[in-house]
């Protein structure tokens, strides 16, 4: 732990080391990803079981692309309908009461460290 911290407690060397780690780690991950893609490009994707399975394959573009677009449209259509035609359907009923700027609602109280100022404000008519 002292090696990672750079001393007995968390201090400036700790922050420097962890900043360097968090700065360099994405570059290391990107490098390992490129190495992985290079090996995958050279040897191809292998089946770990060794079983040849050339049956039941569907091409990605016409099938899955249309399936994803259809799912997106089917999820966006009700959301758009709700937002455009009845935007207040899921709102809180208290939002429809008219506000009175001269009266503070009774359930609103400040934090304890502002109570002295709140008491002064309430004492002024």
Residue range 56-78, pLDDT digits in tens: 777 888 989 999 999 999 999 99
CB-based contact 87:96 (threshold 8 Å): no
Using the CB atoms, write b or e for 24-39: b if 16+ within 10 Å.
eeeeeeeeeeeeeeee
CA torsion sign for 32, 37, 40, 43 is negative
- State how far the Cα of 83 lies from the Cα of 77, in Å rounded to an integer: 10
The residues annotated as belonging to the active site are 41, 45, 67-68, 111
Residue range 30-39, pLDDT digits in tens: 999 999 999 8
- State how far the Cα of 81 lies from the Cα of 86, in Å rounded to an integer: 8
Residue range 83-115, pLDDT digits in tens: 999 999 988 888 888 988 888 778 888 899 999
- Its pTM stands at 0.40
């Amino acid at each position: 732990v002292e090696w990672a911290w750079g001393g007995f407690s968390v201090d400036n060397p700790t922050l420097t080391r962890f900043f360097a780690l968090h700065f360099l780690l994405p570059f290391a991950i990107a490098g390992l990803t490129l190495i992985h893609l290079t090996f995958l490009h050279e040897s191809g994707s292998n089946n770990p079981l060794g079983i040849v399975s050339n049956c039941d394959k569907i091409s990605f573009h016409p099938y899955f692309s249309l399936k994803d677009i259809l799912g997106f449209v089917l999820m966006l259509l009700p959301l758009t309908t709700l937002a455009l035609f009845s935007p207040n359907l899921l709102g809180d009923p208290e939002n429809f009461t008219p506000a009175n700027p001269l009266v503070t609602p009774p359930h609103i109280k400040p934090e304890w460290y502002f109570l002295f100022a709140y008491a002064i404000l309430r004492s002024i008519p």
